[in-house]
């Protein structure tokens, strides 16, 4: 099967010249940072907490991934986005410097979710095992090396989180953290509502917290990706809704890997005001 990276490269011009609209809402993340979790939260907000409306389709089909052409879809997602009615919610994993200029020009609101790199690495490793369009990660040791060097699809986690952190000073970006949402989802949903200039009742907000909790999403076929053909996502290898818990990296990193990672992190994040929690 042709790799996703190959498809994206060929069609990059079309992606970069994507025409955004001022009322587009962009959800940007580094892979495995809680994209589909925030997508579900935003969909619930945009649909005033109507669970049935949010079950209208699989999350991979409900909102397009700006730069992706999935092997099981007839059209690339950016073409699907062009055909959608407004207001559109568009996901992307692109680093800030690769975002289509029209998104900046139209001053679109952007929600960015960042997740600590250790859990991102472990989650990305398992995703490579179950997603047929990504290269076989071999084993965690090999994937660890590639992740640290940024030699994975979407490049360096470090550059991604820092690039978007800098971009928020000059653009309409709400920068959120996976661990904060996990610790206090209601608090973070309030931040999203404020950013979107939307008011919902406490009852509806509680409903959103419930509907988007890990266990409820894991049981929801429209959110847990089990409806995606098994030759694309092989859930018998690893679930898409896998652990959903900060700190799982401790079950995978050796003491030596952890020490090496921390040293590398200090170097690469030196001078940044960004801080991450690797457990809650
Ligand atoms: P794990 O593999 O650590 O379990 P993305 O959507 O960016 O691909 O991120 C996927 C990660 O987010 C997976 O992490 C998945 O389990 C986790 N996730 C998805 N929904 C979640 C939720 N409601 N609460 C907590 N984590 C969630």
Nearest CA, atom 18, ligand 1: 244
Nearest CA, atom 27, ligand 1: 244
Examine the pLDDT at 181 and tell me if it is beyond 70.
yes
Q: Residue 71's pLDDT is what? A: 82
CA distances from 50 to 35, 192, 204 (A): 20, 17, 9
Please compute the mean of the pLDDT values over residues 265-280 and round it to a whole number. Answer: 96
Please compute the mean of the pLDDT values over residues 118-134 and round it to a whole number. Answer: 96
Per residue in 102-111, pLDDT tens?
999 999 999 9
How many angstroms is it from 222 CA to the middle of ligand 1? 14
- Burial of 129 (C-beta count, 10 Å sphere; 0-12/13-18/19+): middle
Domains in the chain, ordered, with CATH? Answer: 9-118+153-230 (3.40.50.300)
Q: Residue 1's pLDDT is what? A: 36
Single out the catalytic residue among 36, 63, 93, 211.
93
Per residue in 21-80, pLDDT tens?
999 999 999 999 999 999 999 999 999 999 999 999 999 999 999 999 888 889 999 999
Q: Residue 7's pLDDT is what? A: 54
How many angstroms is it from 38 CA to the middle of ligand 1? 9
Give the confidence band of 212 by pLDDT, cuts at 50, 70, 90. very high
Global pTM reads: 0.96
Buried b or exposed e, range 225-262, using 16+ CB within 10 angstroms: bbebeeebbeeeebbbbbebebebbeebbeeebeeebe
Q: Of all atoms in ligand 1, which is nearest to the CA of residue 33?
A: 7
Per residue in 162-177, pLDDT tens?
999 999 999 999 999 9
Q: Mean pLDDT, the chain, as a whole number?
A: 95
Q: Residue 5's pLDDT is what? A: 52
- Enter the tokens of residue 204: 């509806």
Rounded to whole angstroms, the Cα distance separating 15 from 28 reads 15
Please compute the mean of the pLDDT values over residues 181-192 and round it to a whole number. Answer: 98
Rounded to whole angstroms, the Cα distance separating 203 from 210 reads 11
Tell me what percent of the residues of the chain surpass a pLDDT of 70. Answer: 96
First to last CA, the chain: 39
Residue 93 falls in the annotated catalytic set: yes
Please compute the mean of the pLDDT values over residues 231-253 and round it to a whole number. Answer: 96
Q: Of all atoms in ligand 1, which is nearest to the CA of residue 241?
A: 16
Please compute the mean of the pLDDT values over residues 87-92 and round it to a whole number. Answer: 98
Q: Of all atoms in ligand 1, which is nearest to the CA of residue 30?
A: 7
Q: Of all atoms in ligand 1, which is nearest to the CA of residue 242?
A: 4
133 vs 57, residue with greater confidence: 57
Give the confidence band of 10 by pLDDT, cuts at 50, 70, 90. low
Closest listed residue to residue 160, CA positions, set 247, 35, 15: 35
Nearest CA, atom 2, ligand 1: 123
Examine the pLDDT at 3 and tell me if it is beyond 50.
no
How many angstroms is it from 108 CA to the middle of ligand 1? 25
How many angstroms is it from 244 CA to the middle of ligand 1? 5
Q: Which residues line ligand 1 (CB under 6 A)?
A: 29, 31-37, 119, 123, 126, 182, 212-214, 217, 241-244, 248
Please compute the mean of the pLDDT values over residues 82-87 and round it to a whole number. Answer: 95
Nearest CA, atom 17, ligand 1: 244
Please compute the mean of the pLDDT values over residues 256-263 and round it to a whole number. Answer: 98
């Amino acid at each position: 099967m042709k790799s996703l990276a190959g498809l994206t490269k060929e069609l990059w011009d079309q992606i970069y010249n994507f025409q955004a609209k001022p009322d587009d809402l962009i959800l940007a993340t580094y892979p495995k940072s809680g994209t589909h979790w925030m997508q579900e939260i935003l969909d619930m907000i945009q649909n005033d907490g109507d669970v049935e409306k949010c079950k209208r389709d699989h999350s991979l089909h409900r909102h397009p991934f700006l730069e992706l052409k999935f092997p099981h879809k007839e059209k690339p997602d950016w073409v699907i986005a062009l055909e959608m009615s407004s207001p559109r919610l568009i996901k992307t994993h692109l680093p800030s410097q690769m975002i289509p200029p029209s998104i900046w020009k139209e001053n679109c609101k952007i929600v960015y979710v960042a997740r600590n790199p250790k859990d991102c690495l472990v989650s990305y490793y398992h995703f490579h095992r179950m997603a047929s369009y990504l290269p076989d990660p071999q084993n965690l040791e090999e994937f660890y090396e590639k992740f640290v060097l940024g030699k994975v699809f979407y490049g360096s986690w470090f550059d991604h989180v820092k690039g978007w952190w800098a971009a928020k000073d000059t653009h309409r970006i709400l920068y959120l953290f996976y661990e904060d949402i996990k610790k206090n989802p209601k608090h973070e949903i309030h931040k999203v509502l404020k950013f979107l200039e939307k008011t919902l009742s406490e009852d509806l907000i509680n409903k959103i917290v419930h509907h988007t909790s890990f266990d409820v999403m894991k049981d929801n076929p429209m959110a847990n990706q089990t409806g995606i053909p098994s030759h694309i996502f092989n859930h018998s290898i690893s679930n898409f809704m896998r652990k959903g818990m900060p700190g799982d990296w401790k079950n995978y990193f050796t003491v030596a890997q952890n020490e090496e990672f921390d040293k590398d992190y200090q170097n690469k994040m030196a001078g940044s005001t960004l801080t991450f929690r690797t457990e809650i």
